Copies of this chain bind each other. A is one copy, B any other.
Amino acid sequence: MAYLRDCWYPAAWFDEVDEAPFARTLLDEPIVIFRAPDGAAVALADRCCHRSLPLSMGRVEGGELQCGYHGLTFDRTGACTAVPGQSNIPPGAGVRAYPVIERWGWIWLWMGEPSGADPAEVPDFHWLDDPAWVGGTGRLHLAANYQNIIDNLTDHTHLQFVHQRTLGSSDVSDATVESKRIGDDLQIERWLINQPPPPLYAGSGGMSGNVDRWMNCRLSPAANFVLDIGCAPTGTGAPQGDRNRGIELKSLHVLSPENVGSTHYFWGFVRNFATKDTALTAQIDAEAKATFEEDVVVLEAQQRVIDESSGASTIDRQADAPPLLARRIMRDLIDRERRAS
């Protein structure tokens, strides 16, 4: 399967990785991650170049990873630094090293040519780091292709069918939707103007009168999805860009394909109001997890049918415009990478 490679993918949360080797597969590539003595995360191909043992079965000593079979040792660049029993290093010895950035709580790996890795291209998820924002985070492993998950994220019309029990019959479906391509991003804007606030906004959010509500999505390649939701009292200028009087939530979703049929799904759900209310945090977190479980059931069933009926035709609806645009952007970017290489 073709993946977009010249971009950063999160491989793990900070606290999943310590000095012990940790195995995770991204884009069909088994990778071993560990922390060097200076605390920096190191990511290498998880296969010894000698006899193919997973390096994640080895051990880290002095910031280098020693294979658990014959002791070949690799530094953080993937270079082989020692072959026990001989003084020279055989030509070709070494494993691929992946550029690593740790940011916003995630260990990001650059899956393309290392020379192209630019730390400035790590997508912005600063809300996960900013004390003005509080909430929960998590990780899922889904037996579903990442593109089908993007379909799910970029099309809110599934809410009333998949999430009847959790999100209920949302009035979101009445909102005006506008989706457009901005560079390589997909932007979807939905506004409800001059409406009574829903319970969360009226209660914890302290909104007593009518509000202007927004539910905006931004998808950046490969699969960085920010759902920006909130409201402000009507007439305070939110639609024009002034959110000073508003309250906001960010529902953050980042996907790292494991392989064609499975995906690592990293998420956070944070807000900038009622930030001391730990009961509210726990409640939102529980609701988010219940909602995810409903999506998981659907996405994994869909994947099984797709696997068994490959090539069967499908039809599209008008509401598929945003996910279809997301797929077109992804195809464009993968094609661009192919032509460049």
Contacts and interface: CB of A to CB of B under 8 A. Distances in A.
The A contact surface, by secondary structure, is: loop
A49 B72 CA distance: 52
A6 B157 CA distance: 40
B90 A316 contact: yes
Given A70-B319, A85-B318, A51 B157 contact: no
Given A68-B298, A158-B70, A302-B69, A319 B51 contact: no
Contacts of A72: 317
Given A30-B308, A302-B53, A312-B52, A69 B319 contact: no
A63 to B, nearest CB: 18
A102 to B, nearest CB: 27
Nearest to A56: B301
B157 A298 contact: no
A68 B173 contact: no
A53 B316 CA distance: 14
Q: Which of A47, A155, A160 has the most CB of B within 10 A?
A: A47
Contacts of A315: 49-50, 90-93
A312 B47 contact: yes
A162 interface: yes
A161 B318 contact: no
B30 A305 contact: yes
Contacts of A160: 71, 84
Q: Which of A69, A302, A316 has the most CB of B within 10 A?
A: A69
Contacts of A306: 52
Interface string A306-333: 1011001111111100000000000000
Query: Could you say which interface size class chain A belongs to?
Result: 35 or more
A83 interface: yes
B316 A50 contact: yes
Interface string A21-55: 00000000010000000000000000101111110
Contact of A57 (B54, B298, B314): B298
A219 interface: no
A86 interface: yes
Contacts of A158: 69-70
A317 B70 contact: yes
7 contacts: A50-B314, A50-B317, A67-B161, A70-B155, A70-B157, A85-B317, A85-B318
